[in-house]
Structure 1
Amino acid sequence: MTTQKQEFKATERIEAPQGGPGRGPMGGGQVGQKAMTFGPSARRLVAGMRPDRWAASLVVALVVVSVVLMSIGPRLLGHATDLVFRGFVGGRLPAGTPDSELPEAVQGQGVVPGEGVDFDAVGRWLLIVLAVYVVASLLSWLAGYVLNSVVQRTVRRMRQDVEDKIHRLPLGYFDRSPRGELLSRVTNDIDNVSQTLQQTMSQLLQSVLTVLAVLAMMLWISPLLALVALVSVPVSLLVTRAIMKQSQGQFVAQWRRTGQLNAHIEESFSGHALVKVFGRTREVEEAFEQHNEGLYDVSFKAQFISGLVMPAMMFVGNLNYVMVAVVGALRVSSGALTLGEVQAFVQYTRQFTQPLTTVASMTNLLQSGVASAERVFELLDADEEPVESADSGVPAARRGEVAFERVSFSYDAERPLITDLSLVARPGQTVAIVGPTGAGKTTLVNLVMRFYDVDAGRITIDGVDIAAVPRAQLRGQVGMVLQDTWLFEGSIRDNIAYGRPGATEEEVLEAARATFVDRFVHSLPDGYDTVVDESGSNLSAGERQLVTIARAFLTDPALLILDEATSSVDTRTELLLQHAMAALRTDRTSFVIAHRLSTIRDADLILVMEDGAIVEQGTHVDLLAADGAYARLHASQFAAAEAG
């Protein structure tokens, strides 16, 4: 990966989700979560801004200058206050009054008896203060503008990293992860991270710098008053830390619960018709109530606990303000400080506690955003398929001979599925795989496609171990039609052409005619330009399957895999497809997974699988004559029809 794509590289390995996927409209699903601590997650999130470090440096510089100017403002305003105070007192004293006869509180403070307020000087100081605040505000606005662009580019990279990561994850990750939970991480959590960065980064930076600048000014004016003001800092930190410790776990639980609720909603809406058919609406509603109530509980706790920070900080700040006012008044009465200095110090006290209060008020948002970032980082840290070169130098498959050599495989190490399996599919042969559900039929083709890698043994195509062939190169030689149709939002023409980018219009139409898509497409409103959505709701199940078969035809693969490809079409269409697929299978090796034995009568080799092992193999006629497992399957499907 490029340097840019490595910005969210793991600082701590997070295991991929474990446990069952929880499928179906009644299914639940929970992805295991190991929450990282707040500090590493926050630092990793900020590290994602590294590609924009020059812009981020500019933001820091602008904020520093803005904060310095803002911190100078009260001191300048204090000078104006001193001018007014001196003029007010001096105007009420007889001219020429010696300093020894002046009130103790104003001795040594520049009071000139007989001279009133110099409004010209006061006006000049006020204009200087106004200019300082205007420039500081403009710099702060500019810093916010630059920071906004930095944050949005950072989130854009995060989204791109997630998108790239999804394409590098093995199929097993998606088998273990509920779809709604994964979508929640990709959408809700990233959006929450974006809002958090946008609303907190500028304020946090400005608040921290303000505390430092104001502290320096407070020490300059009066170390004693600064010491009094600083008493509130450790108290505030202890209060904030205690509250954050309690609320952080609740925010992590909140976003985990959000993912679970989304998973349930996605599953129940996807299976809405099934829920209605089996009358399980009440159970679905109860499951929703349970998830919703759980989300309510943790969200309420998270917001309530974190919401305690603001009033606690305000209480501490008000106590601090009273202490500063009392001690400051005593210092003024003794002549140790001027009224303007105390006024400036009181303003600094507010400026000092305000950023602490601001940080405290953002803790709930900050913790929520970091909790979401942890969930995104878990996805980015999940174990992925090994990186492969685009071209290994291995020649593309030509003959299409597929050999399984003592292959063993299991999804769960404690439950072996395929053990010591060997078979050879000769070039140009049609190999049918039949057997009961769970026998391992689809697993065989998943291994050929390298959706999973074998635990032992090897699989070769034309004598080349597929483990030595990059997955993209291997899959580019294979055409596959699944039982579950998949269409994307676009025209029927686009869905067919998806099989081979750059195919000509005539090639697309030829594939459509060969698979009888052309037969029904002219009855649609816009023909081949008819737009279908991702569920293909404006097409029948059989029509959707025909479009996917046409897509496979267009790829012209060296190896063809049909996994119950005709299960959704009617009997008449199935017969037509048999002829079309027979032409497609010419001169190429084909694997056909079928439950309807009528579709594989003409296969060159039929493999009968039970419990991950091949128990019989041969032609249709030979296997019927053997009167074994295949004959029993055949009898179970056709005995009733023959009896009728």
Structure 2
Amino acid sequence: MFRLFEKLVHPYPEQVPQDLPKGFFAFLWACTAGLRRYLLAFALLVAAFNAYEAWLFSVLGKVVEWLTHTQPGQLWAEQRHTIYLFASVLVASTFLLAGYTTLKHQALSINFPLRLRWNFHRMMLGQSIGFYSDEFAGRITTKVMQTGLAVRELLFTFIEIVIGLGVYFVAILGLVAGFEKRLMLPFLGWMALYGISIWYFVPRLGRIGKKQADARAMMTGRITDAYTNISTVKLFSHTHREAGFAREAMSEFRATGYRQMRLVSGMNIVNHLVTVFLILACSGYAVWLWNAGQVGPGAVAAVTAMALRISGMGTTIMWEMASLFENIGTIQDGIATLTRPKLVVDVPDAQRLAITRGEVRFERVRFGYGKPQPIIDDFNLVIRPGEKVGLIGRSGAGKSTLVNLLLRFWDVEGGRILIDGQDIALVTQDSLRAAIGMVTQDTSLLHRSVRDNIVYGRPGASEEEMVRAAQRAQADAFIAHLGDPQGRKGYDAHVGERGVKLSGGQRQRVAIARVMLKDAPILLLDEATSALDSEVEAAIQASLADLMQGKTVIAIAHRLSTIAALDRLVVMDQGRIVEEGDHRSLLARGGLYARLWQHQSGGFLGESTDAEEAAHA
């Protein structure tokens, strides 16, 4: 039976989630998609079970009345059918409880938040590069994890406390009225006082809960940021600085915690006073009416039992209501991140990019990251099919921006980019990036095995194809000697977060093997051999030359010697093309390229001063 309920809710729906609405209730409604019938069934079962529990107290009163007015030995003869009915209801309640608890714990408790986290994660993966440049990775992770759980807890609390106990109290009042309507007065008075207490404490706890959720996310983000960049922290001897940076966030979290606990203590004191009032008022008033001969002993027993039951539930209800509002705060905090619109999206009915020749064309492209002064302005460039083009220029000239625009990490603000005559803004992002292979200067590997990192270029590749790519990238020799603390060797060894267990050159060779395996028709090289020593670089250059055959290539390098042999060099300055040609013709021209060549130190581009530029102008 448990397995049957566990399979009711699929935690990993295939359908790609749509953008979530920003409104709180609209966000909650969207989160329940595919689960509403189960949540409704859960609410009905909770209401039925609470009505059943309230009914038990009425039965208690009836039993006391029977015992009072029935002679010993006559109870079975006079109340046999009622006793059978009572026993049957008790047995049937087991099935009611079984349905309620299995629907909650087997069908929803695990699958519901897991489904939300799965959808939230896919939505975050669809966000643009700009989104991640403005956020801590740890902070985003916290939002995904916390919000999914908070949605589940909020809905469970609403169903079990607001709906379930609401039905319970209504049933209690109805049963009390069956004994004597005046006995409802203490319960109504308690509900009024309890409502005032909730009205005062719970919203305040909700507000501080939202601040605490944000403080917790910030604390997690700062700590994660330090761990992610641990080599930089140690390189600059800033462990104490990072500890202080985290301490600031911890102090903010502590301050919100203190404020929360003050409210909690006040709430507990007030709640106890209210429950004391309920017990004294109910039992005292019931005894007073019995003494006046207006109710029987069964009413006294039932009403006192109900008051004790409610008083025992009072603290739990208050805490659950506080949790409800705390979860509201957590969800509101998560909404701000999870509903942020995507900057780069596929157009409706976007088609897959079809590569026939590999021509890349920039037409009057303008881009400036949303700022008034563009980095790229009125840029025009045609890269012919199979042509190998090098982009040259000092830092800030716009080379990497052009590559990011070609990959559509950002959308152009003016003009367009075409591949084989197809506007890249009108094709799917996945098909665009599937057609482009790239090796970057800052190579980051996944914290998985070497094999997983290489076949990331083409997941369906065979073992032989993967090994061949590693050999072509001159990576197979060092991979054979790799190992990790779990005893995995060679291609099965894990490389650590961002590949920290490998040297810079080793990471670069794994990345090159990955791109070789991908074998995309358009190849981008951004300082592809910058982390390699001269001997390995020479071998890799031969492999890259082999890889570039039959492909359209765009290469960026500050070490001009690595791209001097390309078909054409495009020299950029302040987002515009200032020179074009091959290495020899550009040197002979004596322009910016010639000056950059002269300013190289150790084979790399140097930074010339404004005075030097003026002297050459």
Structure 1-normalised TM-score?
0.83
Aligned residue number for residue 464 of structure 2: 506
Find the partner of 1:386 among 342, 345, 348.
345
Distance 1:8 1:580 in 2: 43
Find the partner of 2:235 among 260, 273, 277.
277
Stretch deviating more after TM superposition (306-315 or 442-451): 306-315
Stretch deviating more after TM superposition (126-135 or 474-483): 126-135
Give the partner amino acid of 1:463: G
> Is contact 1:407–1:458 with CA below 8 Å preserved after alignment?
yes
Shift of 1:209: 1.8
Distance 1:492 1:290 in 2: 38
Find the partner of 1:424 among 363, 367, 382.
382
> Is contact 1:66–1:137 with CA below 8 Å preserved after alignment?
no
> Is contact 2:114–2:148 with CA below 8 Å preserved after alignment?
no
TM alignment of 1:467-486, pairs within 5 A: 467-486=425-444
Find the partner of 1:75 among 33, 52, 58.
58
Find the partner of 1:55 among 14, 22, 38.
38
Give the partner amino acid of 2:510: V
User: Larger RCO: Structure 1 or Structure 2 (Cα < 8 Å, ≥ 6 residues apart)?
Assistant: 1
Give the partner amino acid of 1:239: S
Give the partner amino acid of 2:64: T
Shift of 1:116: 6.7
Q: Secondary structure at the match of 2:546?
A: helix
For the structure 1 residues 4 and 221, does the alpha-carbon distance in structure 2 shift closer, same or farther, using more than 3 Å as the test? farther
> Is contact 1:310–1:361 with CA below 8 Å preserved after alignment?
no
Distance 1:638 1:520 in 2: 31
Distance 1:137 1:303 in 2: 39
Asked if 1:140 is matched to 2:97, the reply is yes
Distance 1:546 1:538 in 2: 14
Give the partner amino acid of 1:556: D
> Is contact 1:48–1:154 with CA below 8 Å preserved after alignment?
no
For the structure 1 residues 215 and 405, does the alpha-carbon distance in structure 2 shift closer, same or farther, using more than 3 Å as the test? same
Aligned residue number for residue 10 of structure 1: 20
Q: Which runs of 5+ in 1 are unaligned?
A: 14-35, 88-114
Aligned residue number for residue 447 of structure 1: 405
Shift of 1:506: 3.4
Distance 1:469 1:640 in 2: 40
Asked if 1:609 is matched to 2:592, the reply is no
Asked if 1:496 is matched to 2:454, the reply is yes
Find the partner of 2:562 among 599, 603, 627.
599
Shift of 1:480: 1.0
Distance 2:433 2:463 in 1: 24
Shift of 1:376: 3.6
> Is contact 2:203–2:325 with CA below 8 Å preserved after alignment?
no
> Is contact 1:392–1:468 with CA below 8 Å preserved after alignment?
yes
TM-superposition CA deviations, 1:247-273 (whole Å, max 9, x none): 222111111111111111111122223
Counting aligned pairs with the same residue, the percent is 29
Distance 1:623 1:137 in 2: 88
Aligned residue number for residue 302 of structure 1: 260
Q: Secondary structure at the match of 2:110?
A: helix
Stretch deviating more after TM superposition (458-467 or 608-617): 608-617
Shift of 1:5: 5.7
Aligned residue number for residue 368 of structure 2: 410
Find the partner of 2:479 among 521, 526, 532.
521
Stretch deviating more after TM superposition (236-245 or 544-553): 236-245
For the structure 1 residues 83 and 427, does the alpha-carbon distance in structure 2 shift closer, same or farther, using more than 3 Å as the test? closer
Which has the greater radius of gyration? 1
Aligned residue number for residue 414 of structure 2: 456
Shift of 1:482: 1.5
For the structure 1 residues 500 and 277, does the alpha-carbon distance in structure 2 shift closer, same or farther, using more than 3 Å as the test? closer
Distance 1:121 1:227 in 2: 37
> Is contact 2:526–2:555 with CA below 8 Å preserved after alignment?
yes
TM-superposition CA deviations, 1:283-334 (whole Å, max 9, x none): 2121121111111111222243245334322312221332233332332222
Distance 1:575 1:6 in 2: 45
TM alignment of 1:60-139, pairs within 5 A: 60-86=43-69, 135-136=92-93, 139=96
Find the partner of 2:330 among 363, 372, 377.
372
For the structure 1 residues 51 and 264, does the alpha-carbon distance in structure 2 shift closer, same or farther, using more than 3 Å as the test? same
> Is contact 1:214–1:352 with CA below 8 Å preserved after alignment?
no
TM-superposition CA deviations, 1:457-513 (whole Å, max 9, x none): 111122222222221121121111112223234443332222123223333333222
For the structure 1 residues 346 and 54, does the alpha-carbon distance in structure 2 shift closer, same or farther, using more than 3 Å as the test? same
Stretch deviating more after TM superposition (527-536 or 294-303): 527-536
Distance 1:65 1:192 in 2: 25
Aligned residue number for residue 499 of structure 2: 536
For the structure 1 residues 122 and 251, does the alpha-carbon distance in structure 2 shift closer, same or farther, using more than 3 Å as the test? farther
> Is contact 2:161–2:320 with CA below 8 Å preserved after alignment?
no
> Is contact 2:473–2:509 with CA below 8 Å preserved after alignment?
yes
Asked if 1:578 is matched to 2:535, the reply is no
> Is contact 1:401–1:425 with CA below 8 Å preserved after alignment?
yes
For the structure 1 residues 258 and 415, does the alpha-carbon distance in structure 2 shift closer, same or farther, using more than 3 Å as the test? farther
Distance 2:224 2:108 in 1: 34
TM-superposition CA deviations, 1:584-612 (whole Å, max 9, x none): 22222111111111211112222232332
Aligned residue number for residue 222 of structure 1: 180
Shift of 1:129: 6.2
Q: Which runs of 5+ in 2 are unaligned?
A: 1-11, 484-488, 605-617
Q: Secondary structure at the match of 2:444?
A: coil
Aligned residue number for residue 299 of structure 2: 341
Find the partner of 1:568 among 522, 531, 546.
531
> Is contact 2:358–2:384 with CA below 8 Å preserved after alignment?
yes
RMSD: 3.1
> Is contact 2:571–2:579 with CA below 8 Å preserved after alignment?
yes
Shift of 1:549: 0.6
For the structure 1 residues 59 and 494, does the alpha-carbon distance in structure 2 shift closer, same or farther, using more than 3 Å as the test? closer
User: Number of aligned pairs?
Assistant: 585
Q: Secondary structure at the match of 1:569?
A: coil
